[in-house]
Amino acid sequence: MHGSIRLHVAAPLAAEAIVDVTPAQAHYLGAVMRRGAGDMLRLFNGREGEWEARIVALKRERGQLVAVRRLRPQRDDEALWLVFVPLKRDATELVVQKATELGVAALLPALTERGNVPRLNIDRLRAIAVEAAEQSERLTVPEIGEPQRLAALLGAWPGDRPLIAAIERAAAPRLRPTHKPAGLLIGPEGGFSPGELDELARHAFVRPVSLGPRILRAETAAIVGLALLQAPVTG
């Protein structure tokens, strides 16, 4: 079994289910990975776990697989959401990639007064998330929301889910690990405006925290914050 290849597919997965691959997947399997009929790989669709599958046929832009047996049952990633202010393209793509690798269930772009970013290519970000999920052996691909104003996002936030807000230079406690459902909020490079800080303070579910004494770039703060939140709980 060529266990290193994993593909995310939309089709239902069950024993003997036939799965048609996309032209891009057919190219990847045949031209990049040099696989052909009879070779094995792994599939997941975010609903029915991970499956071992066999390549039945493979041509330049077409291919068919057959699911053979389930390797892992489905397990959903629901504990952690990331709210982030979009950055320049490369930095935003890095945040999506690393947040996916770190198990985030939802990526929610927030628009703030000091954010100055062109329109996001959501389809490209979703493709990056799929590739990161394939690589990191996740069973799900995170949801990527459409950008919305911070006030609107806060107004729709579920009150029983803490939103841990990393705020620079705030007299706030250090971030502590949690393995309960929560959200992490990372602000723009220029920080939140006074009005946005007031808006955050009005919501009881918002919990300001510090990531330490240094001023981090936003993409670094997202990665550090997600890692700290998922660190083993001690004491």
Note whether 208 and 133 are same-domain residues: yes
Note whether 181 and 215 are same-domain residues: yes
93 inside domain: yes
- The pLDDT of residue 2 is 42
With contact defined as beta carbons under 8 Å apart, do 186 and 218 qualify? yes
- The pLDDT of residue 118 is 66
- Point out the domain boundary residue: 35, 53, 72: 72
The domain of 101 spans 80-229
Note whether 179 and 112 are same-domain residues: yes
pLDDT, tens digit, 9 for 90 and up, residues 34-54: 999 999 999 999 999 999 999
pLDDT, tens digit, 9 for 90 and up, residues 148-181: 999 999 999 999 999 999 987 667 788 888 888 9
235 inside domain: no
In the numeric block, which tokens belong to residue 165? 């807000």
221 inside domain: yes
Burial classification of residue 131, based on how many CB atoms lie within 10 Å of its CB (0-12 exposed, 13-18 middle, 19 or more buried):
middle
* Domain CATH number, residue 40: 2.40.240.20
When divided into structural domains, the chain yields a total of: 2
Name 40's bridge partners.
Answer: 54
- Average pLDDT, 10 consecutive residues per value, the chain (235 residues): 79 97 96 95 97 95 96 90 93 96 96 82 96 96 96 96 86 84 92 93 95 86 94 70
Note whether 180 and 156 are same-domain residues: yes
Note whether 100 and 216 are same-domain residues: yes
What is the model's pTM?
0.91
- The pLDDT of residue 179 is 81
